Structure 1
Amino acid sequence: MAGSTGNQSLSSSEAAYVKARRSNVLPQAWKTYLANVEATNVTLPSYVSSILNGSSSETPNLGIATSGGGYRAAIFGAGVLNALDGRNTTSNSAGIGGLLQTATYLSGLSGGAWFVTSLAQANFPTIQELIFGYPHPTVANNSWGGWNADYSLYAPSGNPFTDLDYLSHLAQELEGKYDAHYAVTFADYWSRALARHFVNGTFSSNFFDESYTHGAGILWSSVADTESFQSYAIPFPIIAADLLAPGQNTSEELSGDDIPLSNPIMEFNVYEMGSFDPMLSAFAPTKYLGTTNNSVCITNYDQAALVAGSSSELFNEVNFTSSLPSVFQDAISLINELLPEPGIELDVASWPNPFYGVAPGTFLSSSQTDLRIVDGGEDGENIPLQILLVKARGLDTILAIDASSNTNNFADGSALIASQDRVNLLSSTYSFPPVPTTASEFTAHNLTTKPTFFGCNTTSANETTPLMIYLANGGPAHNGEVPVTNTSTLQVSYGASQIQSMLDQIFVISTQGYPTSSSMTTDPEWPACLACAVVDRARERAGEARSGVCETCLARYCWS
């Protein structure tokens, strides 16, 4: 159980993981990151060094959230983390490498969920290995084969006969779930397609080979058994999704969205699924999410691909009879033919409701036997921030990566505005730093084309509010390159050269900061400025005043 409003608590397993990571991994990770920042030859205030090298009693608590936006968002989130990865020598030389290793939490939704799911279940490979696979892979059901991004999520072969055969196999793979009397929806089919890209077991050489399981049986709860998780090497991963509930308050829907801000946000972490939101405030073990009765606990329902597919289930937003690509129309026909289920709602992800009868006064799905899960960005909060605002998680700094598609497939800050609006509805449970109230204000002040810090100055009323470091895919890089990162959310295949071009430009976006003059392409103080933001809440707790480069950095990068 999460506990009532104001009395949230972590599961014992999550608390133990976080404690062990902070004790066994983070002290050295902070020192390594500090050394990379110091190597840029910008003099840091002594309090930054003492906080990061462990000589201060205060340490930062960092979380990273990566947004939705299809393959574009998966690539952009991966690219930013590549720039922060201490295993990347170029990132270390740029002065921001190693920050990834210092994070306590990593959240993703929709396209960001594809990235985070693949990273966690594949045992935390480097980003290049994650996307492109290993140079000499072992082709096996439990081995990682890369994203296989050159194969379309819709019609991977380009040959209509081969693709129809492929669709048939995807539908046939759902027969076991159907025979076990679970609801089978289009999200299950979608998840089997995603499994070929973001779950172990699929390689270019075996993509159409049905003698392989293609991620079936790879569980989200089994991430806990990976070497990286066992050694506390990876930030605690969480996937966010939205809940479509009966009788939901449509007056709380943002324009153009389908889920009200007042619906609970559902999270899937390795140990539990549920919500800290006060309208539910309850969790169930991820391992047993297939359980439908009180006598036998069912396992193997929490397929990693289904978690990623549920977080990216956008199909309730389209007309199934006319708006889906023709290849998906064929898939629906196959599902209806092979797995007939009169009355089943096909355009959601269906999960047995472990909260049946819980909080009937506030939880709108309390009387439903199945939860209807949809894309985590359908309430407008396209960055999974809410789950990192949980006070029991104690985060004091959050890096928000925004690859939303708002204008010309660039982000315009709308996702942050939605989070601010939702926190205003739940102000007794969460706190959020002030951000602009309109997207036009974001763009007018270039807040999406430069790293921007929100919530720099605290008062007694908001001292527990995290400082937000906002890094958006908001426009061209400052070096004058033609932008390549604003691809359409509907683009469902990418060649290796296109992805590499995007990664290269994302590296520039992540390392350029905000140059102080038009003649500069990078801010040489950006690594120091980033470090100043990361430690700022710890600095405040230590009773230190901002000074030196940190004082000038936050004056430049903080939004007021």
Structure 2
Amino acid sequence: MRSSLVALVSLAAALSGTHAQSPASIAYAPTVGACPAGTELVREVGAVAKTQTLSHGELDYVAARRLDVLPAAFASYLAHVRNAVPGTKLPAYATAILSGHGHKLPNVGIATSGGGHRAAIFGAGILNALDGRNATSARAGTGGLLQTATYLAGLSGGSWLVGSLAQNDFPTVEEMVFGSATTTGWQTQLDLLTPSANATVDSAFTAALFGEIAVKYFEGFPVTIADVWARALSRHFLNGTTADDLLNASLDHGAGVTLSSISKLPSFVSHQQPFPVVLANTLTSKDNGSEFIFPDNIVPLGNPIYEFNVYEMGSFDPTLGAFTPTKYLGSPNSSECVTGFDQMSFVQAISSNLFTEFNVTGVNINDTEIGPIIQALEANFPEAGIRLDTSAVPNPFKGVSPHTFADADQAVLNLVDGGLDGEVTPYQPLLVKARGVDMIFAIDAVADTDENWATGLSMVATQQRVEKFFNTTYSFPRVPTNESTFLNDGLTLRPTFFGCAEPAWSAAPLIIYVANGGPPRGGAAVTNTSTSQTAYPLAQVQTMLDSAFLTATQGMAVEKHGREIDDPLWPACLACAVVDRTRRDMGVARSGVCATCMKEYCWS
């Protein structure tokens, strides 16, 4: 297997250096040209919250979305809530806020966690329940909340979901996953790296992936396992590939689709999409004095967290506090600008690059399942000083903040899976005070237990990071300090609100926490699959989507006639949480059904 793969890759690499280059290899390779006049490749944002600023592109997008889209979106959401609880009247303040007659419209963010296919599918099922375009979700009273969101953040498996939604022009979940007239759908039924039962076909498939990254290498850019991973992910989560044409060399298979190019899609131009953000972690070159390792995790909590959005890539962490234009990621200097480095599939691969785990356990990486790929990389693309198990990104921040930024003297950033520091739910970009997020709908599909259920550890890690390092930069509500509280209080088995009692001066958002902590009431355990499972029959995907939908729409258990039923007030309670920060800012006391709901669903 290994020798045949190396040989096939060598052939693919040789062909990529000649006229036999495929459309995918050409489209995936970055290009270098003169920078447009006035281009600035580094924007420093300051070390504390009061000095931080957002990019002009993000500011303009958010402002336009809030002005042109959100008033109607909130009004539609309110109508769905009212229809779902016809005998229950929301307090006047809640109706006024959702109607746009209150102090301000809530600033809503959604965070969807990592966890491979499990997380992507579970997150998709939750988003489906929040999508007002789904008639069943609208009748449930949860539909429409997705349309009110200003931000949508994902990492690892969640980045596959967020990137797919954005790149596919914000379709419905059914269209995105199963395909439509304009989308090819997710190819979950095929394994990511070994899509065939035939070893020869699988080797040829891997060789094709290598051929598609070869031109990038020949153009002088580093290539690692993340590039091979990117080309595989592209065939499964970006539009343009079906199961029948997986090896069709005449197609680009999503190559050339960049994160920055999403700005040209109709749903983005019209501000219909929530602003997408993808997260990644980093292995720094040395200790910057803030090492703090969450138990059993590879990346210290103090390492910079990088975010990728349509306009910029960088970190708000005060150890760096700088961004570079996403469109010009990979640029060597201010006179030569690179374009095409920010491939959407590559960003998804960076965020989900778990392969570093193989190299920190004392096991020879060549003896693992990715050993043949690493060997083929070493044999065909020799690169001095490049870590092949990470995602290599030319460092745009070289020389920035040398006293606090550990990689200030490095030519390349070694980026890895966004959850390797323990924060597997991407709260971080939604805690940036300059964004002013009021409420985070957090989707936690992390495999914290041996049975692959979530126990809240990601939230615990986020709280510890914020408290230990960056209280001046981020604010996070008080949450349990250990998973025992989550489990003993059943907080992962029902929606739970965190931050209900934060003082008026606190900038911490309210968090609506929905976890894959167990099967929905009356349902089977179908969403607790292993992170390492890399192929899902479409029927299994549908079953998981349906289960996640129930998780999002049932609310907590209510006893009636001696048996447990879904909470009939859950749509109203969800709406009460959505408006609660705005209510607080207005100086209005909770009342009516909202007072009851917040007492029942809030963790104290």
Deviations 1:232-291 (A, max 9, x none): 000000000001101136850111101111111100000000011111111000000020
Give CA deviations for 1:331-376 in whole Å, capped at 9, x if unaligned.
2233223222244210100001110100000010110011110000
- Compute the displacement of 1:460 (Å): 4.4
Which one-letter code corresponds to 1:443 in the other structure? Answer: L
1:46-195 to structure 2, matched below 5 A, reads 46-134=92-180, 136=181, 144-195=183-234
CA contact (8 A) 1:58 1:539 kept: no
Q: Deviations over 1:361-405 (max 9, x none)?
A: 001011001111000001100011011000110101011100000
Report if aligned partners of 1:155, 1:327 keep a CA contact under 8 Å in 2: no
1:466 aligns with 2:506: no
SS at match of 2:125: helix
2:479 counterpart of 1:440:
no
Moved more, 234-243 or 1-10: 1-10
Give unmatched runs, 5+ long, in structure 1.
138-143
- Stretches of structure 2 that go unaligned for 5 or more consecutive residues are 1-42
Aligned counterpart, 1:232: 271
Question: Which of 264, 274, 288 does residue 328 from structure 2 map onto?
Answer: 288
Per the normalisation by structure 1, the TM-score is 0.96
Q: CA deviation at 1:215?
A: 1.1
Alignment of 1:5-84 (within 5 A): 5-6=48-49, 7-40=51-84, 41=86, 42-84=88-130
Q: Distance in 1 between matches of 2:290 and 2:67?
A: 45
Q: Which runs of 4+ in 1 moved over 6 A?
A: none
CA shift digits 1:456-504 (9 cap, x unpaired): 0121452x2100110000012112x221000000000101100000111
Contact 2:366 2:374 in 1 (8 A): no
- C-alpha distance 284-509 of structure 1, shift in aligned 2 (>3 A): same
User: What's the counterpart of residue 557 of structure 2?
Assistant: 515
Give the aligned partner of residue 483 of structure 1.
525
The letter of the residue matching 1:432 is: F
Partner of 2:292: 252
The Cα shift of 1:550 comes to 0.3
Name the structure 1 match of 2:547. 505
Residue number in structure 1 paired with 2:463:
420
**CA distance in 1 between partners of 2:304 and 2:371 (Å):** 31
Provide the C-alpha distance between the structure 2 equivalents of 1:357 and 1:343, rounded to a whole number of angstroms: 19
* Structural mapping, 1:524-543, within 5 Å: 524-543=568-587
Q: Is the 8 A contact 1:318 1:324 kept in 2?
A: no
Q: Counterpart in 2 of 1:141? A: none
Q: 1: CA distance between counterparts of 2:204 and 2:565?
A: 50
5 Å-filtered alignment, 1:358-377, equals 358-377=400-419
**1:200 aligns to what?**
239
Does residue 301 (structure 1) correspond to residue 341 (structure 2)? The answer is: yes
Question: Aligned partner of 1:4: which letter?
Answer: A
User: Match of 2:571, SS?
Assistant: helix
Partner of 1:331: 373
Q: Which amino acid aligns with 1:45?
A: P
Q: Distance in 1 between matches of 2:319 and 2:434?
A: 17
Deviations 1:530-554 (A, max 9, x none): 0000000111112211111100100
Instruction: Give me the whole-angstrom Cα distance separating, in 2, the residues matched to 1:350 and 1:472.
Output: 32
Aligned residues: 551
CA contact (8 A) 1:195 1:215 kept: yes
SS of alignment partner, residue 565 of structure 2: coil
Normalising by structure 2, report the TM-score: 0.89
Instruction: Find the aligned partners of 2:104 and 2:220 in 1 and give their Cα distance.
Output: 52
Aligned-partner Cα distance in 2 for 1:332–1:282: 32
Q: Distance in 2 between matches of 1:145 and 1:193?
A: 15
Query: Distance between the aligned counterparts of 2:598 and 2:517, measured in 1?
Result: 21
8 A contact 1:171–1:338 mirrored in 2:
no
Question: Residue 533 of structure 1 aligns to which amino acid in structure 2?
Answer: A
Q: 1-side partners of 2:418 and 2:290: how far apart? A: 17
Q: Distance in 2 between matches of 1:341 and 1:275?
A: 27
Q: Which amino acid aligns with 1:316?
A: T
Opposite residue 393 of structure 1, the aligned amino acid is: R
SS at match of 2:129: helix
